[in-house]
Amino acid sequence: MSDERCKGNGCNVGRLPTMSDYIDRGLRRIRRPILPIVGAPCQDDEGRFARFSLRLEGEIITEVGFQSSPCVTLVAYCELAAQWVTGHTLPAAARRVGPFDLSLELPQVPAVKRDRALLASRALFATILEVTKEAHA
């Protein structure tokens, strides 16, 4: 039973999502259409990339999408970031998703792969920056 269904039944007890859950949800989110506000793609030294897109209603982020390289660790970090910022304002989202926050949330990721958290975080910040620039233009 999913967390949502469990809460829907009034239980309020749901298991914490695992790394594998984030990967599965992330791989589904990648296939969704790109949303209206698209950030600049970010790339790391090894050629992996991530790019977020957002839908805003007023000042609230109502939907988040992303495209990324198929590295599952990166997909999991991007999915986690997407979940964390949905329902928040842009400033709150920027405060919420730092690379350390992401890597602390998924401690099972081996140290050599934690740099993917930085890439996910940078890509999300790039999108937030894009919106902020447009708002001030």
Partner 1 sequence: MKVAYLFATQGHTVSYVLAKMILPQLEENRHGVDVVGMFFFQDNNYVLVKGNPIGERLHAVAKGKNILLMGCDQCCYEREIADTLLDGVPIGCFPDLYGALATNMPDQIITL
* Residue with Cβ nearer partner 1 (103 or 127): 103
- Angle ∠(64,83,118) on CA atoms, nearest 5: 90
- Confirm if 120 and 50 have CB atoms less than 8 A apart: yes
- Which residues of the shown chain bind partner 1 in the complex (CB under 8 A)? 18-20, 23, 70-73, 76, 107-110, 112-113
Least gap, CB of 114 to partner 1 (angstroms): 11
Residue among 53 and 73 whose Cβ is closer to partner 1:
73
Least separation in angstroms between residue 131's CB and partner 1 is: 32
Give me the least distance between CB of 52 and partner 1, in Å please: 22
Residue closer to partner 1 (CB basis): 22 or 52: 22
Whose Cβ is closer to partner 1: residue 54's or residue 102's? 102
CB burial string 65-101: b at 16+ within 10 A, e below: bbbbbebbbbbbbbbbbbbbbeebebeebbeebbbee
